[in-house]
């Protein structure tokens, strides 16, 4: 993963080997139109930023990748585990913005599917054989709900994907250095069967530091992906205020970056 620029948009580019079929990555906070504290490429609808600025940023992003703003699909994220499947062309995809979901799967080209995040892990999935892509919003709740594994299973059942042939990228998120959590999080992870010892470090009684990316990598491996097919960003959004938004750091003043992926051809 490395910084790249397309049009005005600066983003962490992900290249999946053998797949010229898709374009994907993770946006940074640069070169948008939002004023501080949302400066400047705030792509999240549910912030206190001016709606017109968010719309302007989303339009900038869509145009940079060569599609209309109506073809930039982000569901209404609720920290749940519902998956939106888009399996036919639409004139205008904007109605999906009001559909609740925390993952999107599609086989449709020229549609950017994305999730807006501040600390949560954005995860991209690509099946170069069946030409199917997916994006997942994994905070601790989505991780405990095993949403990324559920999305792999969805690609398998809806489109016949073989997990062993998928590529994945886990984007910049809050890392273990800054992500202190407490008992309710530990309880949910343990109940869900995730190896808590492997993805956390206890700092004091009742306080742990959670490695969200490691937990999701583990879920991807259990879902059948090959270790070498999983890319991981090591950047902590909370440590890097010059580059990324972080809710843990900036609270209500935080904008949202986006993990996104688009099929270039069907
Ligand atoms: Zn950090």
Mean pLDDT of the chain: 96
**Vertex 92: Cα angle to 130 and 151 (nearest 5):** 35
Give the pLDDT of residue 17.
Answer: 84
Question: What's 175's domain CATH number?
Answer: 3.60.140.10
| Centroid of ligand 1 to alpha carbon of 226 (angstroms) | 27
Q: How far is the CA of 265 from the centre of ligand 1 (A)?
A: 37
CA 253 / ligand 1 centre spacing (Å) = 18
CA pseudo-torsion sign 241, 246, 251, 255: positive
What is the whole-number distance in angstroms between the Cα of residue 164 and the centre of ligand 1?
32
What pLDDT score does 18 carry?
A: 67
- The alpha carbon of 209 and the centre of ligand 1 are apart by a number of angstroms equal to 11
> Domain range holding 79?
2-263
Give the Å distance between the CA of 12 and the centre of ligand 1: 18
262 membership: H or E segment, kind and range: strand 257-263
What confidence category does residue 173 fall into, taking pLDDT thresholds of 50, 70 and 90? very high
Distance 248 CA to ligand 1 centre (A): 10
Instruction: Report DSSP letters for 102-128, one per residue.
Output: SEEEE--BT-EEEEEESSSEEEEEEET
- Residues 266 and 254: their CA atoms lie apart, in Å, by 36
CA 247 to ligand 1 centroid distance, Å? 12
Distance from the CA of 100 to the center of ligand 1, in angstroms? 30
Give the pLDDT confidence score for residue 91 in this predicted structure.
86
CA of 238 to the centre of ligand 1 (A): 5
Give the span between the Cα atoms of 165 and 126, in whole angstroms: 9
Distance in Å, CA 135 to ligand 1 centroid = 23
Query: Which stretches does DSSP call E strand in 108-212?
Result: 112-117, 121-127, 132-138, 167-170, 180-182, 200-204, 207-210
Using one digit for the tens of pLDDT, what is the confidence trace for 219-231? 999 999 999 999 9
Query: SS3 sequence, the chain?
Result: CEEEEECCEEEEEECCCCCCCEEEEEECCCCCCCCCCCCCCCCCCCCCCCHHHHHHHHHHHHHHCCCCHHHEECCECCCCCCEEEECCCCCCCHHHHHCECCEEEECCECCEEEEEECCCEEEEEEECCCCEEEEEEECHHHHHCCHHHHHHHHHHHHHCCCHHHCEEEECCECCCCCCEEEHHHHHHHHHCCCCHHHHEEEEECCEEEECHHHHHHHHHHHCCCCHHHEEECCCECCCCCCCCCCHHHHHHHCCCEEEEEEECCC
What total number of domains does the chain contain?
1
How far is ligand 1, taken at its centre, from the CA of residue 62, in Å?
A: 30
The share of the chain scoring above pLDDT 70, in percent, equals: 99
List residues bridging with 109 in a β-sheet: 263
Query: How many Å lie between the centroid of ligand 1 and the Cα of residue 262?
Result: 29
Q: Range with the lowest mean pLDDT among 71-75, 94-98, 173-177, 256-260?
A: 94-98
CA of 210 to the centre of ligand 1 (A): 11
Question: Which backbone phi and psi does 197 adopt, to 5 degrees?
Answer: -60, -35
Which comes out higher in pLDDT, residue 18 or 186? 186
CA of 26 to the centre of ligand 1 (A): 17
Task: Quote the pLDDT of residue 8.
Answer: 87
How do residues 80-139 score in pLDDT, each as one tens digit?
Answer: 999 999 999 998 998 999 999 999 999 999 999 999 999 999 999 999 999 999 999 999
Q: How confident is residue 265, by pLDDT bands cut at 50, 70 and 90?
A: confident
pLDDT of residue 131: 95
> Cα(96) to centroid of ligand 1, in Å?
33
How far, in Å, from the CA of 246 to the mean position of ligand 1? 10
Q: Grade residue 19 by pLDDT with cuts at 50, 70 and 90.
A: low
CA 121/CA 128 separation, integer angstroms:
23
For residue 173, the CA-to-ligand 1 centroid distance in Å is 9
| 233 CA to centre of ligand 1 in angstroms | 13
Q: Look up the pTM and report it.
A: 0.97
Task: Express each pLDDT in 34-93 by its tens digit.
Answer: 999 999 999 999 899 999 999 999 999 999 999 999 999 999 999 999 999 999 999 899
């Amino acid at each position: 993963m490395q910084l790249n620029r397309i049009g005005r948009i600066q983003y962490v580019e992900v290249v999946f080997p053998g797949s010229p079929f898709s374009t994907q990555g993770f946006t940074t906070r640069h070169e948008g139109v939002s004023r501080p504290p949302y400066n400047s490429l705030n792509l999240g609808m549910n912030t206190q930023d001016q709606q017109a600025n968010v719309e302007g940023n989303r339009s900038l992003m869509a145009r940079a990748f060569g599609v209309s703003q109506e073809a930039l699909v982000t569901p209404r994220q609720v920290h749940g585990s519902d998956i939106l499947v888009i399996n036919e062309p639409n004139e205008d995809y904007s109605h999906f913005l009001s559909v609740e979901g925390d993952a999107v799967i599609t086989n449709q080209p020229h549609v950017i599917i994305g999730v807006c995040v501040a600390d949560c892990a954005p995860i991209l999935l690509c099946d170069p054989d069946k030409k199917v892509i997916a994006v997942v919003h994994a905070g601790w709740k989505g991780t405990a709900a095993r949403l990324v594994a559920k999305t792999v299973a969805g690609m398998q059942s809806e489109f016949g994907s073989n997990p062993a042939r998928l590529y994945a990228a886990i984007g910049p998120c809050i890392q273990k250095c800054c992500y202190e959590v407490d008992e309710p999080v530990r309880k949910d992870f343990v109940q869900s069967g995730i190896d808590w010892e492997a993805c956390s470090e206890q700092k004091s009684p009742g306080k742990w530091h959670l490695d969200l990316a490691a937990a999701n990598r583990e879920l991807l491996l259990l879902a059948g992906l090959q270790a070498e097919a999983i890319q991981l960003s090591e950047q902590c959004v909370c440590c890097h205020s010059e580059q990324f938004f972080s809710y843990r750091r900036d609270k209500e003043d935080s904008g949202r970056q986006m993990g996104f992926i688009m099929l270039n051809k069907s």
